[in-house]
């Protein structure tokens, strides 16, 4: 059964954690689409042309250990603003989304561009300060301050929302899930309830 769950939202809102938990709970495949852009950005930073980098991704590229750094996030945001890079990665994501086992994809434009026909669309968000605190704790880098992480996060949000190609925004029919005051169990339960209802 092809059943797609599209989970979008800004950085550190909890969408990745929710997506992985949902995939495990329902036995769906999971794709963190941000890794595609992070891996592309890393290859560009190493000197490769953006379109070539996006078109030549391998499973090894997605398994790199340095893709969760703040630098990789900024590189991802820069290449994600390039229309030709996004186009090169669309087919991969759409093919993944219609796997017969069901699929959960998380990113910035899954419900609006990649899978507008997804059976469930969630937009996971939280306040800037809550997201910055989460990311600061996750990075656990003594050289970074919360304020620096907040500034970095806001710059990335601005770039993601203002880009011409597939800007960050909720799909019209997405359920908005604000996790600012939620723990992970409550957020996953809310998402799971929506999916259970859609599965009938």
Q: Residue positions in the annotated binding site for ATP? A: 9-17
Biggest alpha carbon distance in the chain?
A: 49
Whole-number Å distance between alpha carbons of 200 and 190 = 16
Q: Please, are residues 42 and 115 in contact by the beta-carbon 8 Å criterion?
A: no
CA distances from 118 to 29, 36, 86, 89, 113 (A): 14, 20, 19, 18, 10
CA distances from 43 to 2, 31, 79 (A): 32, 20, 10
Q: Please, are residues 11 and 5 in contact by the beta-carbon 8 Å criterion?
A: no
CA distances from 66 to 3, 43, 45, 61, 134 (A): 31, 12, 12, 10, 19
Tally Cβ neighbours within 10 Å of residue 151: 12
Q: Annotated binding residues, as ranges?
A: 9-17
């Amino acid at each position: 059964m092809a059943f797609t769950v599209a989970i979008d939202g800004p950085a550190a809102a909890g969408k990745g954690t929710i997506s992985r938990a949902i995939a495990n709970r329902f036995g769906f495949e999971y794709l963190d689409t941000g890794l595609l852009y992070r891996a592309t950005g890393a290859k560009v930073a190493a000197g490769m042309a953006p379109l070539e980098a996006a078109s030549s991704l391998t499973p090894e590229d997605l398994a790199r250990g340095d893709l969760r750094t703040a630098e990789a996030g900024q590189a991802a945001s820069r290449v994600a603003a390039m229309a030709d890079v996004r186009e090169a990665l669309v087919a991969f994501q759409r093919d993944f989304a219609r796997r017969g086992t069901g699929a959960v994809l998380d990113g910035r434009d899954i419900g609006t561009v990649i899978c507008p026909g997804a059976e469930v669309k969630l937009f996971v968000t939280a306040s800037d300060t809550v997201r910055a605190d989460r990311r600061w704790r996750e990075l656990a880098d003594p050289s970074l301050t919360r304020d620096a992480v907040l500034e970095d996060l806001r710059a990335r949000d601005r770039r993601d929302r203002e880009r011409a190609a597939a800007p960050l925004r909720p799909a019209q029919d997405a359920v908005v899930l604000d996790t600012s005051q939620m723990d992970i169990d409550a957020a996953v339960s809310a998402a799971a309830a929506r999916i259970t209802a859609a599965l009938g």
